[in-house]
Amino acid sequence: MRIAVLTGAGISAESGIRTFRATDGLWEEHRIEDVATPEGFLRDPGLVHRFYNMRRADAARAQPNAAHRALAELARHHQVTLITQNVDDLHERGGSPEVVHMHGSLLGALCAGCGHRWPASLVMRAADPCPACGRPQTRPDIVWFGEIPYHMERIWEAVERAQVFAAIGTSGQVYPAAGLAQHARRAGAETIELNLAASAVAGDFARRQTGPATRVVPEWVAGLCR
Ligand code: APR
């Protein structure tokens, strides 16, 4: 079966990685305009690097959980396109063979000058010279607000071809990710939301499994892999 899965910060919450919009979320402590926009980077690249260096260290300490591993199991039984808004590498370390990072990755560095990409070091600084052009304009390879998410053609195609579309651990507040369920449903997919609570786009899903990802995702996958 062709399955498209969209994950958000909630799937990594039980691995100890903070989500964004919970009461102790990242956006309670940091202003999006300061650390997650191109303008914020131009204004204070050091602040942006400190924010992502902290997130990179948190992600490096975290371990994949049962939900990440269940999605890897799902890919052993079905044609799964795993689309994630997350920038950690827990899906890869949990065994998923292919992950589409629509918001980029903490493991990537990008030159704001020439566009060259290379593997990020654990601690990055704007002054790090670009290996290709030498300019000191190193930024995290993360898609910031106001920028175009990565791999959208591939994502729309996978969502349109999917027989099942599942969203896991996302609040449904950021587009285009939040619009994928409606797109899938219009294309005829069976849609399900797995989350601790109803998301902002809960009405776009035909079904919902409520609970922590480490319980509801393995249960959902077991039902598809019998
Ligand atoms: N199990 C399942 N769901 C959970 C769990 C859990 N243990 N813990 C939290 N959640 C759910 C919350 O109910 C919420 O719906 O995860 C979601 C987290 O929402 P956000 O913090 O808004 O994260 P996300 O939806 O991934 O944000 C989308 O916004 O700031 C940008 O680029 C950033 O990719 C991010 C995007």
CA of 222 to the centre of ligand 1 (A): 23
Active-site choice (49, 68, 101, 103): 103
Q: What is the pLDDT of residue 165?
A: 98
Whether the pTM exceeds 0.90: the reply is yes
* pLDDT(7) > 90: yes
Is residue 12 marked as binding? yes
The ipTM is 0.99
CA of 195 to the centre of ligand 1 (A): 9
For 11-67, the pLDDT digits (tens) are 999 999 999 998 889 999 999 999 999 999 999 999 999 999 999 999 999 999 999
Question: Ligand 1 within 6 A of 171 CB?
Answer: yes
Place 226 in a pLDDT band, splitting at 50, 70 and 90.
confident
User: What mean pLDDT is predicted for residues 171-176?
Assistant: 97
CATH class for the domain made up of 1-17+64-103+149-226: alpha beta
For 65-86, the pLDDT digits (tens) are 999 999 999 999 999 999 999 9
Is residue 170 marked as binding? yes
Which residues have CB under 8 Å from 176's CB, separation 6+?
149, 152
Q: What is the pLDDT of residue 75?
A: 98
Neighbours of 170 (CB within 10 A): 28
User: What mean pLDDT is predicted for residues 113-124?
Assistant: 95
Domain 18-61+105-142 homologous superfamily, CATH: SIR2/SIRT2 'Small Domain' (3.30.1600.10)
Domain boundaries defined on the chain: 1-17+64-103+149-226, 18-61+105-142
Q: Which residue has the tokens 């062709």?
A: 2
Quick check: 209 and 218 in contact, CB under 8 A?
no
Question: Ligand 1 within 6 A of 8 CB?
Answer: yes
Strand order in the sheet with 104-111: 117-119, 104-111, 138-142
Q: What is the pLDDT of residue 23?
A: 86
Strand order in the sheet with 164-168: 99-101, 79-84, 2-7, 164-168, 190-195, 207-210
To the query of whether residue 101 is one of the catalytic residues in this protein, the response is: no
* pLDDT(145) > 90: yes
Mutation to probe ligand 1, out of 30, 91, 196 (largest number of atoms < 8 A from CB): 196
Mutation to probe ligand 1, out of 6, 170, 192, 193 (largest number of atoms < 8 A from CB): 170
Mean pLDDT, the chain, whole residue set: 97
Question: Ligand 1 within 6 A of 202 CB?
Answer: no
